[in-house]
Structure 1
Amino acid sequence: MATGWAGDGAVQDQIDATVKDGIKRARSQLPQGPGLERCEECDAPIPEARRKAVPGVKLCVACQQAHDEEDGAHSGYNRRGSKDSQLR
C-alpha cells in the first residue's frame, strides 16, 4: 500500500539501495594486488597463511585490528534503529 507520493515498495527500495551502497563501499576498501611480507606500520612479518587468505594484505593482524577499531569509532551510521536511519 502506497502512502503519500511514494510508490509501492519505495521504502524497501531505499533500504535495498542503502545495503547495495554499503556492500560496494566495503568491497572498494578490500586490499588488492600483491601482499607485503612485512607489516607496513610495525615491520612485523606477515605469515604466509595470512597473505594467502587476504590478497593484498599490508598490515599484520594486530595493526589491522587497531585500524579496524579506529574506523569503527568513526563510522557514519546511525545505529539507534529509528526508521529515519534506514532511509536515505
Structure 2
Amino acid sequence: MMDTMDLAQQQVAENLDHHLAVAISRPQRSSAFFCEDCEGVIPEARRRAVMGVVTCVSCQATREAYAR
C-alpha cells in the first residue's frame, strides 16, 4: 500500500513526464518557406510533415551525408 509521499512522488514523476513530452514535441521554430542552403522553395507537404523544417529534401540529405 502506498503512503502519501509515494503518491506525491508518483504524481510529480507523471507531471514531469507529461511536461517533457509536450516540450519535446513542440517545434523549435516554424517551418521555413525557403531552404536555408539553396534558397529553393520547400514544398508545403514537407513543411506540414516535418515541423520546423528549414531545408529542402536534397539539402537535408546532403547535410546528413556530411554528418556521418
TM-score class normalised by the smaller sequence = 0.5 to 0.7
Alignment of 1:7-86 (within 5 A): 32-72=28-68
Aligned-partner Cα distance in 2 for 1:52–1:64:
16
Structure with the higher helix share, 1 or 2: 2
State the partner residue of 1:4: none
User: Post-superposition shift, 1:33?
Assistant: 1.8
TM-score by length of 2: 0.58
Structure 1 residue 32, shift from structure 2 partner: 2.7
Question: Once the 2 structures are TM-superposed, how far is the Cα of residue 38 of structure 1 from its aligned partner?
Answer: 0.4
TM-score of the two chains, using structure 1 as the length reference: 0.46
| Residue type of the alignment partner of 1:67 | R
Q: Which runs of 4+ in 1 moved over 3 A?
A: none
Consecutive unaligned residues of structure 1, counting only runs of 5 or more, are 1-27, 73-88
| Distance in 1, Cα, partners of 2:55 & 2:43 | 11
Describe the superposition over 1:39-65 as per-residue Cα deviations: whole angstroms up to 9, x where unpaired.
001010000000000000000001000
What is the total number of aligned residue pairs between the two structures? 43
> Using the alignment, how far apart are the partners of 2:47 and 2:28 within structure 1?
11
Gapped regions of structure 2 (runs ≥ 5):
1-23
